[in-house]
Amino acid sequence: MTGALLHLSQTVEKLELVSQPIMVKPSPLDETQIKAKNEIIHVPALSDTFKPDEKIIRKCFSLFCKQPDFYAEPWKLRRSLDKEDIEILDDWFFNMGGRGALESRGSRQKNALLSAGLISILGELYGDQFQTLILASEPERLGEWRRILQDCLGLNRDDFGPNSGIVLFERPEGVIEKADRLEAENEVPLIIIDGSETNIEIPILQFPLWLAFVGSDEEIYDDFEMN
């Protein structure tokens, strides 16, 4: 099975997304201990991040597998996800702790549908304190994200903007600046990176919630041909 591997570029300023066989190593966070005031403090592993919310998340998974509710209220998923989609979300929540790169589902349409499910779940957990930041370096790609999310989540154009639930960016600097401001205001940013992007700026990795889709060489090439 092929997957995605992140490795440092020579500039050490960004991570390059490369389609390679995935190499899984135990997280040092799984074994980390901090000594303070002669006591041992166990640091929770990333995989435990969403353990307190597991019941809510798995209830959403169950609903996503049923017939879609095309008239659900805004921000609720109005489409169905298949078994593989659910397995990917399960891995992102309970193994990756809400941060990491995933192999693209094969198209922006499928990636955005999966992301719609993710946004719907995080909306259940964080409510109005949650905002999604999407990075894609071409306006056509962002336009496709907006149309798909609008359809899948029952949104309108007013839900996409600087102070709305979903903000679209062509440059990573804008994403980083916006995420910093949200955290300063005790809000929760989710960063989603389009599969056409071939690297991740290192500062993005400081944020607790991010998902980067890693497109195959063929997928990225076909995307460039359309522009």
| Tens-binned pLDDT, residue by residue, of the chain (227 aa) | 433 334 333 333 566 654 443 333 333 333 333 233 334 333 345 668 899 999 999 999 999 999 898 989 999 999 999 999 999 999 999 999 999 999 999 999 999 999 999 999 999 999 989 999 999 999 999 999 999 999 999 999 999 998 899 999 999 999 999 999 999 999 999 999 999 998 899 999 999 999 999 987 776 666 555 54
Dist CA 46 CA 31 (whole Å):
11
pTM of the model: 0.80
Burial of 71 (0-12, 13-18, 19+ CB in 10 A): exposed
> Minimal CA–CA distance to 115: which of 141, 160, 146?
146
Q: Which pair of structure tokens corresponds to residue 15?
A: 């991570």
Burial of 104 (0-12, 13-18, 19+ CB in 10 A): buried
Give yes or no for a contact between 104 and 212, defined as CB atoms under 8 angstroms apart.
no
Query: Does residue 191 sit in helix, strand or coil?
Result: strand
Q: Which domains does the chain have, with CATH numbers?
A: 3-19+53-225 (3.40.50)
Give Cα 140 distance to the centre of its chain: 20
